[in-house]
Structure 1
Amino acid sequence: MRFRYVYQKVVDLKTNEKTQAEWMLSAAVGILQSEQCSLEQLLEERSRTHSVIQNEMENKASMIKLQELQRYMDYLEDCINRKIGDVKRAEVNVDHKKTVLSGKMLDEKVWMKAKEKAKEKFQQEMLLREQNELDEMATVRFAMRAR
């Protein structure tokens, strides 16, 4: 007789939910990394533009050119501020996905432990049955020899 866990479909469901939570966390981490990379690019662009402004000021560039560069710097600052918000939201999302994953892992662990306990109980019952059958066979043999 083979062990069949009554709640195997629940265990499978909990395993699938954990796997989905892992995928969701992985996707959230990917988005976070993308946002961080984008922020780094914006910061580098701001640094380059700042250097250009310094060079133009030393070369006595026209006021129109300097104003244009300053407007571009302002635009970059706005982009950087928005991107910092995006990064923070992505970090919050990653933290949320980690929390969800922790819960799913705990659920799966609880159900797997229940399955293990049920299997141990089943194995104990099977051993007890086997032992009872062997005892009965020994009793019958002994009774037949006694006659």
Structure 2
Amino acid sequence: MKFRYTFQKIVDLKSNEKTQAEWILSSAVSQLRVEESSLTELRIERQGIEGMLMDASIASTTVSDLLLFQNYLTHMDQRIDAKLLDVKQAEEQVSTSRTHLSEKAVEEKVWFRARDKARDLFLAEAQKKEQETLDEMALTRYKRPS
């Protein structure tokens, strides 16, 4: 007699939900890395513009060129601020995904434990029946006249 768990499809579903949550977390972490990398590039670009502004201010440059550099720096600051918001949103998504994954892992564990408990009960019952059969056979042999 083979053990068949009545709720095996639910166990499989919970396992699949956990796997899906892992994929979502992985995607969220990848997106966070992309946003952080983009932010780093913007900051490096801004530093380059600052260097160009400093060089231009040392050399004889027109005021309009200096204003152009300053306007571009302001624009870069705005892009950095927007990218900081994107990074924050990506961090929140990672946090939400981690929470979701931990919830799915707990659900999966509960169902695995229920299945294991049902299997243990099944095996104990099967062993009990087998022992009763062996006892009955031994009793029948003992009662037979020799």
TM-score by length of 2: 0.98
Letter in 2 for 1:25: L
In the other structure, the counterpart of 2:123 is 123
- Segments of 4+ moved more than 3 angstroms: none
Shift of 1:65: 1.3
Q: Which residue of 2 aligns with 1:32?
A: 32
* Inter-partner Cα distance in structure 2 for 1:145 and 1:77: 103
Q: How far 1:144 sits from its partner (Å)? A: 1.3
Q: Distance in 2 between matches of 1:82 and 1:89?
A: 11
Counterparts of 1:128-139 in structure 2 under 5 Å?
A: 128-139=128-139
Q: What CA deviation, in whole Å up to 9, does each residue of 1:41-71 have, x standing for no partner?
A: 0000111100000000001211121111111
What value does the CA root-mean-square deviation take over the aligned residues? Answer: 0.8
Q: Equivalents in 2 of 1:96, 1:32: separation in Å?
A: 13
Code of the aligned partner of 1:101: L
SS at match of 1:43: helix
Instruction: Normalising by structure 1, report the TM-score.
Output: 0.97
Percent of aligned pairs with the same amino acid: 42
The answer for the alignment partner of 1:56 in structure 2 is: 56
Equivalent AA in structure 2 for residue 113 of structure 1? R
Q: Show the 5 A alignment for 1:1-147.
A: 1-145=1-145
How far apart are the structure 1 equivalents of 2:132 and 2:105?
Answer: 40
Letter in 2 for 1:106: V
Q: Deviations over 1:71-102 (max 9, x none)?
A: 11111000000000000011011000000001
Paired with 1:40 and 1:85, the residues of 2 have a C-alpha distance of: 14
The separation in 1 between residues aligned to 2:95 and 2:101, in whole angstroms, is 10
Residue 130 of structure 1 aligns to which amino acid in structure 2? E
Q: Distance in 2 between matches of 1:130 and 1:71?
A: 87
Letter in 2 for 1:88: K
1:28 partner letter: A
Offset of residue 145 of structure 1 = 3.1
